[in-house]
Structure 1
Amino acid sequence: MRKIVVNAMGEQCPIPVVKAKKAMAELPQEGGEAEILVDNEISVQNLGKMADQKGLKWNSEKTAEHEYHVHIFVGEGQEKPKVKAAEEEVCMPDRRGHSVAVISSSVMGNGDDELGKILMKGFIYALSQLDTLPETILFYNGGVFLTTEGSDSLEDLKSMEAQGVKILSCGTCLNYYGLTEKLQVGSVTNMYVIAEKMAGASNLIRP
């Protein structure tokens, strides 16, 4: 089975979809596989949506922090997608802005901790409903409890991650609290990256 590899790293929608369709149209009559390399989950979802619309089998794998491989299979007898102009493609909007949210505690504000937990859960939910999502959410110190097993905010955080928001938890903090093996969303980072993300942010959001 012939395979065509398409490098769409750094490309924004609809370019990965257009490149994928062009590659699929070049496959032989008996079919084959188009493997598309992208660097964000928005592109993965758009490619999957295109494949679903065409009735094609597909899967994806994350091979590095900013690298995804999407495999789309075209079989014999299946109609090969026609290449449309970029402006004709319908893309899932990228709702991310250039702000960074910084969460250093599992509670919000000073006072009663039970109230603080309720407020923090509400804050993260509200964050997930914003028209423009933060580009990155950083968790350190007690904030890492929110990204690990037992957190009431996992569903909201996973929803934002699926839309391209980077969820990063301090590795030193996870280790200190014995939570390294309990991380449920996002990835582990270090203090250099945390400092770099904060320094490069156009806006910092702190609960």
Structure 2
Amino acid sequence: MRIDCRNLECPEPIIRTKDALEKLKIGDMLEVIVNDIAPKENIKRFLNTNNISFETNENGGELIFVITKTNEIQNKETEQYNCQISPNSKTEKIIYLNEDTAGSGEVGKNLLSKFLGAILNVENKPKAIICVNNAVFMTTDRSHVSYQVLKNLEANGIEIYSCGSCLEAYKIVDKLSIGKITNAYEVMDMLTKYEAIKL
């Protein structure tokens, strides 16, 4: 069975998914197509809550759930699922930089600079960039090839964070001139709240 839940107002997609699953026998397959963040997240939660197996296939802005009915639905309540996804959802991204290169040597430094520079051209921009280890040189060394790139990203509303312990280890705390100092707790808090991209 296949149901098309594209462009349906919440909570209609999750209600249709539940109704379709109730009609199926154990072992039957169901495909559900959605194209909005709220139904994507809510259907995942509903299936996980009911221990129902599924896979997902991304196709542009659309997501196809391929669901196998492995057991009967135990939790049929749909009112608990929010139509507005929290701004702290995993759909929002941060970039975690452990090095000041994307590869080795000067080529790697230039490549990372180009990757970071391309951020301003993408639609789904990251909320923040976290710099740890020698990536903190990008926020302290004005001659670094990525320094001005990060400065531009900050000017465009992207938060830049540098690891305080790393700045202290390299003895460059006083040279920080982009973004803010952060600590281990704040870094872990962001990594658990947002989807992290490592370059």
TM-score after normalising by structure 2: 0.51
Q: Quote the residue 2:77 is aligned against.
A: none
**SS of alignment partner, residue 194 of structure 1:** helix
1:116 aligns with 2:108: yes
Task: Write out the 4+ residue segments of structure 1 that deviate beyond 6 Å after TM superposition.
Answer: none
* Pairwise CA distance, 1:156: 1.9
* Pairwise CA distance, 1:174: 0.6
Q: What percent of counterpart residues are identical? A: 31
Q: Quote the residue 1:183 is aligned against.
A: 176
Structure 2 alignment gaps of length 5 or more: 1-90
- Residues 128, 156 of structure 1: 8 Å contact kept: no
Equivalent-residue separation in structure 2 for 1:156 and 1:185 (angstroms): 11
**SS of alignment partner, residue 123 of structure 2:** coil
Q: Please give the residue correspondences for 1:108-147 in structure 2 after superposition, counting only pairs within 5 Å.
A: 108-109=102-103, 112-147=104-139
**SS of alignment partner, residue 133 of structure 1:** coil
Q: Quote the residue 2:156 is aligned against.
A: 163
Structure 1 alignment gaps of length 5 or more: 1-96
Please tell me whether Structure 1 or Structure 2 has the larger radius of gyration of its CA atoms: 2
Matched length: 108
Q: Please give the residue correspondences for 1:1-207 in structure 2 after superposition, counting only pairs within 5 Å.
A: 98-109=92-103, 112-149=104-141, 150-201=143-194, 203-207=195-199
Give the letter aligned to residue 100 of structure 1: I
TM-score after normalising by structure 1: 0.49
Q: Deviations over 1:151-206 (max 9, x none)?
A: 222222122212221100000001111211111210101011001001100x2111
**SS of alignment partner, residue 162 of structure 2:** strand
Equivalent-residue separation in structure 2 for 1:182 and 1:98 (angstroms): 30
- Residues 150, 178 of structure 2: 8 Å contact kept: yes
* Higher mean C-alpha deviation, range 127-136 or range 100-109: 127-136
Equivalent-residue separation in structure 1 for 2:120 and 2:140 (angstroms): 18
